Structure 1
Amino acid sequence: MFIRVVTGIQKHFDERVVEWAMAATGMYWGWTLAQPGKAWTNEAAWAGMLRITTEDTWGVLCMLAGGFWLVALTVNGTFSETAYSRYSPLVRGLAALGAVFVWWQVVMSVSAVQTSGSGIYPLPLFLSIWCVRNAWRDIGEERRSARASDRRA
């Protein structure tokens, strides 16, 4: 099973490298937020997110979202030739959409105050949107492929 997981990931890694990077980034960022102490020292910059919930809770949410995305990518590569593959792009897209929500909140929060973060945080937001687009594109390709095979049968 371990070899199947590794070779499955390897098989799709190049086409999903941005998704892997974004999932790992979200998980790691969440981990840093969930650590004892404060990662958000400029409370004015994070006031928008702090109105919704605490820094620790954001950290746990980011770790869960990133972890879910990593599992989805692992299963996507490992079981690409199974019935799961029909739903894989949808699961990946939903995971990416969760990341879009988080990074949108980050961008809106830090953009309300002049900080250096307002210049860099749009990048993970854009990349997450790109991942949603790619997953939705894969859903379309899967549906077209299923229709073509139905016509042949």
Structure 2
Amino acid sequence: MLSHFTQSLRETFPSRSSEWALAVIILNWSIVLSVTPDLFNDRIGYHALLQVAGQETWALLCFIVGTGRLSVLAINGAWRRTPHLRAIGAFISCGFWFGLTLGFGQNVSWSTAMAVYPVLMMLDAYNVFRAITDAAMIDNAYAGARRRGDDS
């Protein structure tokens, strides 16, 4: 299993590095929110996010999404390729980045967050597209293999 993981990582990391990075960023968000319990209360930029959910909820959701995406990327191909799960993870992350973009965009004076979060959202939107394309190729390959097996 470990040798499969390292081989799969070597083969897929270059093309999925943005997925890995964005998953780590969301996981890091969870860590920052957990170790800084008054962050949403202390800074006006986070007030819009606080209206959606409490800081603890955001931290938990970020932890689930970040670790979920990292797990999917890590087990990629152990049983079958995971582009469907990668697409779901990237789509959920798009929602997170969209929420941050809207939340920080409501401030009267925009912060540097508006230079970052919309770009991360678009990058994950591109990751959704790539994962769906990978899923279609994998599904077609499995369907072809089944047809060949049925014809034999």
TM-score range, shorter chain: 0.7 to 0.9
Q: TM-score, normalised by structure 1?
A: 0.85
Q: Which has the higher contact order (CA 8 A, sep 6+)?
A: 1
Between the aligned partners of 2:86 and 2:37, the Cα distance in structure 1 is: 32
8 Å contact kept, 2:37–2:55: no
The alpha-carbon deviation at position 115 of structure 1 amounts to 2.2
The alignment of Structure 1 onto Structure 2 pairs a total of residues equal to 146
Question: Structure 1 stretch 2-11 or stretch 126-135: which is displaced more?
Answer: 2-11
Partner-residue secondary structure (3-state), 2:39: coil
Question: Is 1:146 matched up with 2:142?
Answer: yes
Between the aligned partners of 2:92 and 2:144, the Cα distance in structure 1 is: 32
1:109-128 matches, within 5 Å, as: 109-113=103-107, 114-116=109-111, 117-128=113-124
Between the aligned partners of 1:150 and 1:64, the Cα distance in structure 2 is: 35
Partner-residue secondary structure (3-state), 2:76: helix
Deviation string for 1:51-99 (max 9, x for gaps)?
121122211211110100000000115x1xx3x32xx111111111111
The alpha-carbon deviation at position 127 of structure 1 amounts to 1.4
From 99, 104, 109, give the equivalent of 1:105: 99
- Structure 1 residues 24, 146: closer, same or farther in 2, change over 3 A? same
The alpha-carbon deviation at position 37 of structure 1 amounts to 3.4
Between the aligned partners of 1:123 and 1:65, the Cα distance in structure 2 is: 19
Aligned AA (2:101): V
The alpha-carbon deviation at position 39 of structure 1 amounts to 3.0
Q: Which runs of 5+ in 2 are unaligned?
A: none
The alpha-carbon deviation at position 36 of structure 1 amounts to 3.5
% same residue: 22
8 Å contact kept, 1:35–1:56: no
Partner-residue secondary structure (3-state), 1:46: helix
Between the aligned partners of 1:48 and 1:90, the Cα distance in structure 2 is: 32
Between the aligned partners of 2:37 and 2:118, the Cα distance in structure 1 is: 25
Between the aligned partners of 1:7 and 1:134, the Cα distance in structure 2 is: 21
The RMSD of aligned alpha carbons is: 1.7
Q: TM-score, normalised by structure 2?
A: 0.86
